[in-house]
Structure formats: structure tokens, C-alpha cells
Amino acid sequence: MNKKRKDFNVKKSLWIISVIAIACGACAREGAINLAAETSFIEKRLQGTLVNIPDSTLHIPRSIQKDGKSWRYVSYQDWTSGFWSGELWYAYELSGQPKWKEQAAHFTQELRPLAYEPVIDHDLGFQIFNSFGNAYRLTGVDSYRQVVLAAADSLATLFNPKVGTILSWPRAVPNMEWPQHNTIIDNMINLELLFWASKNGGADSLYHIAVSHAKKTMENHFRDDYTSYHVVVYDKANGKRRKQVTHQGFADISMWARGQSWAIYGYTMVYRETKDPVFLDFAQKVTDVYLDRLPEDLVPYWDFDDPNIPNTPRDASAAAVVASALFELCQYVPAEKGAVYRKKAELMLTSLARHYHTADGNTAILGQVTGHYPNGSEINTSINYGDYYYMEALLRYKNLRK
């Protein structure tokens, strides 16, 4: 063999070896999410929580207290009440074990009154869609559907047609100029209840309310760089915007991590339900500004503009919400961008699985979740919504791999 030919063969072999090495590296990273191990870990944690639930009116596990292991329990009326039964439904879906279905059905029923009592705030979507919505999706039992429909009608009573959005907190909250009309970015998630109801036996008006809310929020809740304000206060009589402020963030003009995660998840879902490309474009814009500013491990600090970063708590729940949303958004955008979103979501899950699991003794799933930093409550702990969206992200990952 002449020298030129030999050099060419050596180069070719090196090239093939490099390609195989890169491919294996990618496989190894992809395989870093071990679904069987995660499912087993989650089942152990849920079982540990379940056996200690007290027999009292306050018995829905919400967050881990300062001792790092005891749950703070709440009643069915708490805004987070639907996440626990939602986790049990997801455990059933992830593992296929009937025992989780029985527990999920039990805790779901406890929330039933919410759909028929006077509505106390916008969180009805979180409460009823995660519990009864998942129950219906996984069992097809019609009585579950009826409860979701009743809840959607109830949520719609908070819609103000002058403003074009749902009133989030129908009560006096500091700095919200009650009885003017407030809308919080979190409210985007609750639109899913309305969309779903309109397509499963409810009134068409529910669909139009949801679209109006999404459009009005798009106009008023975002800065020029697509970061979100937490709250907008509108004049309840003429619908004009009065102010844009925060409630749970560092400052009125800061990017509160979970608020932005609700926007990413919310506009992805609104695109799924409407197929209006305006919402798809917007979902990408609110996503891209979030991704651009993430720390290296892809789990944000509780507020992107806290001047104390890196010496301030994370919010692992925001990472779980965004990972779940990206597993959906990656399917709607062109292939190249979809691959980037999907890869980011996988890396977020890997990061959460490797570095944000709770320590033994704590029966929640994720640690380092921050609830309400300015209030000094639920900081750097475990909260049920972090666990719920983490499980949802794992399920979406599992389904995408199929």
C-alpha cells in the first residue's frame, strides 16, 4: 500500500472511531435518565409519605417542614391539593401498579366539593385537572369527567369580559388594589381545564374565555425581552391595565423563575389546544429567554435577578415544570430546534435526578424547591408541585422514547 493510501486509511479509521465515540457519549448521556431506577425511587418515596398520612381534616401532603422530614399537611381547599392525587395517578401510569390507582382514586374523591362550592380562586385548574382530569384520562370513568366539567363552569365565573381575563385572587391581597381585577401568570396553567372541558361536553364559551385570557396575558404580562411580570392589575370596570407588579418574585421587574416556567408551560399548552401559530411563536420566545439565562446545571435560582446569586436558593420546581413543557414543545417546532429543546429537557431531568433528589428520611422526591421567598415561606425545601411536574416530565420523556 502506498504512503498516501495508508495515511488516508489511518485518517478514515480515526474518523470512524471519533464518530462512534461521540455517538456512544450521546447514548451514555441519554441513558443517564434511568427510568426504572427513577420509578422505583419515586414509589419508595410515595409509599413513605402514604404510611404516615394522618387521619384528620388536614392530611394532603404539601411541603416538607424545617426539620427536613415532616410533611406540612393541608385540606382539600389549599391551592396545592390536586398535586398529591396527581402524583399518585402518575405513579400508577409510570409503574402500572394497581395499588397506586386505588390510592389515587381515594385522594381524588376528597377534592370533589371544590367543583360545586363557590369558587375561591383560579387554582381550581391545578386542583381539579391534576386529580380528576388525570383520573378520567387514565380510567375513562364518566363521573370523573362530570366533576371536571362542573369545575370548569365554576372557574369561568371568575372571567371578567371587560378585562378579558380570569380574576386570579377574588379577595384582598396586599398591593393588588382590591376590588380591582388581578391576574397572575400562574393562571395560564388553569386554562387547560377550560380548553379540555370545551372539547369534552362543556360549553364553547369556555374555549373562548381561555383564548381571550391567553391573548390578553400575552399583551400585558411581558416585557420587551419576553420575561414575565408576576401580576397585572386591571381596572375591573373599563379593563385598562393599572399596574404590573410582583408578589412572589424579587422585584416588579425581575424574572421570577416559577412565573416564567408557568408562561413556558402555559403557552405550549395553549398552542396545543388552539393550533394558533401566534402562541407557538410566543411559547418559543418565553422559553428562549429562560434557557439563555440558566445556570450551568439548568436548575434556576428562585429569581433570575436576585443580586445574591449564586448565594441564594434554587427552585427545582421551575426546572421540573420547564422540562415537562419542553418535552411537549420540542414536538411542535421545526426539527433542529426541537432537538435542542428535547436535549435541554433531558439534561434538566438528569440534573434533577443526580443532584436534587431528597436525602433519605425525607419522603418527598425533589429538594431545593422555593415557594414564596419574599414571604419567608417554603424556601429551599420540597413542595408537592415540584414532585408532580418531575413525574410528569419523566412520563413525557418515557412516552417520547416510545
Catalytic positions are 123, 186
Count of residues that bind ligand GLY according to CB under 6 A: 4
Using CB under 6 A, pick the residue from 112, 221, 258, 396 that binds ligand GLY.
258
The smaller minimum CB distance to ligand GLY, of residues 65 and 377, is found at 377
In whole angstroms, the minimum distance from the beta carbon of 261 to ligand GLY comes to: 9
Distance CA 61, CA 383 (A): 9
| Cβ atoms of residues 64 and 364 within 8 Å | yes
The smaller minimum CB distance to ligand GLY, of residues 38 and 186, is found at 186
The smaller minimum CB distance to ligand GLY, of residues 247 and 342, is found at 247
Q: Does 378 bind ligand GLY (CB under 6 A)?
A: no
In whole angstroms, the minimum distance from the beta carbon of 251 to ligand GLY comes to: 17
The smaller minimum CB distance to ligand GLY, of residues 39 and 324, is found at 324
Radius of gyration of the chain (CA): 22
Strands 231-234 and 241-245 come out as antiparallel
The smaller minimum CB distance to ligand GLY, of residues 202 and 371, is found at 371
In whole angstroms, the minimum distance from the beta carbon of 145 to ligand GLY comes to: 25
Distance CA 380, CA 197 (A): 36
In whole angstroms, the minimum distance from the beta carbon of 65 to ligand GLY comes to: 17
Query: Residue 51 has which C-alpha cell?
Result: 404510611
| Cβ atoms of residues 190 and 158 within 8 Å | no
Binders in 31-90 for ligand GLY, by CB under 6 A: none
Distance CA 286, CA 224 (A): 11
Task: Tell me, residue by residue from 205 to 224, as one string, x for binding to ligand GLY by CB under 6 A and - for no binding.
Answer: --------------------
The smaller minimum CB distance to ligand GLY, of residues 194 and 231, is found at 231
Which residues have a Cβ under 8 Å from the Cβ of 108 and sit 6 or more positions away?
85, 89, 131, 132, 135, 144
In whole angstroms, the minimum distance from the beta carbon of 248 to ligand GLY comes to: 6
The smaller minimum CB distance to ligand GLY, of residues 149 and 364, is found at 364
In whole angstroms, the minimum distance from the beta carbon of 186 to ligand GLY comes to: 4
Q: Does 186 bind ligand GLY (CB under 6 A)?
A: yes
| Cβ atoms of residues 69 and 361 within 8 Å | yes
In whole angstroms, the minimum distance from the beta carbon of 258 to ligand GLY comes to: 5
Residue 328, Cβ neighbours under 10 Å: how many?
A: 20
Q: Which residue is nearest to ligand GLY (CB)?
A: 186
Q: 204-220 vs 257-274: helix axis angle to the nearest 10?
A: 140
Q: Does 346 bind ligand GLY (CB under 6 A)?
A: no
Binders in 237-256 for ligand GLY, by CB under 6 A: 248
* Positions in the binding site for ligand GLY (CB under 6 A): 186, 248, 258, 371
